[in-house]
Amino acid sequence: MSISETPLDNPEERPALLTDEGGEFTWTREEVNKVVPQRRYAYVPTPELRPGSRARVRNLNSTEISAYEASNFTGIGKKTKLTLENTDARLAAWGWVDESGKLVYNPREADEVRRVGMMDGAPISRIAKKVRELSGMSVEEDDEEDKEQGKVTPNLTLSV
């Protein structure tokens, strides 16, 4: 059986050169290139926007996560500043989709992000939290991993 024919989900059928000493699968470039990008979806209740409503959200891919994270900064070089304005609204815009999977708002358009930011904060926060979770961006998971590894994360307080 060639590497290209190797089922990824059956460890017994993987060639030995693709496993480490513990038997864990190790990716080759060929195998990575076969991976089809997957979207994960979830529904978030949004009764504050309209009774009985829900928002469909999706995970972000790596490029989208980078674009979202870059949007948290303005300026160039030494004049770079962190901006926390509309953080949840920006993330919600990146992940809020209609039933066909098309973005409801354009996260690259400031006016559209402001429109999301003007909505009731509770459902927008829930939408952003679910997008973080689906995308592997969850702060809570990082905190739990740090605690398990004995790392201490400082509590930061922002003053306005």
Average predicted confidence (pLDDT) for the chain: 81
Residue 66 has pLDDT above 70, yes or no: yes
What mean pLDDT is predicted for residues 131-159? 65
Q: How far apart are CA 83 and CA 90, in angstroms?
A: 11
- 78: tokens are 């030494």
What was the pLDDT predicted at 158?
Answer: 44
Domain boundaries, the chain: 3-34, 41-136
What was the pLDDT predicted at 2?
Answer: 39
- 36: tokens are 């089809």
What was the pLDDT predicted at 108?
Answer: 94
Provide the CATH number for the domain formed by 41-136 in this structure.
3.30.2220
Q: How far apart are CA 75 and CA 83, in angstroms?
A: 10
What was the pLDDT predicted at 138?
Answer: 73
**What Rg do the C-alpha atoms of the chain give, in angstroms?**
20
What was the pLDDT predicted at 149?
Answer: 66
What was the pLDDT predicted at 4?
Answer: 42
What was the pLDDT predicted at 140?
Answer: 62
pLDDT top residue among 68 and 22: 68
Query: DSSP character for 47?
Result: T
pLDDT top residue among 148 and 2: 148
What was the pLDDT predicted at 146?
Answer: 60
Q: How far apart are CA 108 and CA 94, in angstroms?
A: 9
* Model pLDDT for residues 13-57, shown as the tens digit of each residue: 444 444 456 667 788 888 888 887 889 999 999 999 999 999 999
Q: In DSSP terms, which residues pair with 45 in a beta bridge?
A: 54
What mean pLDDT is predicted for residues 77-82? 90
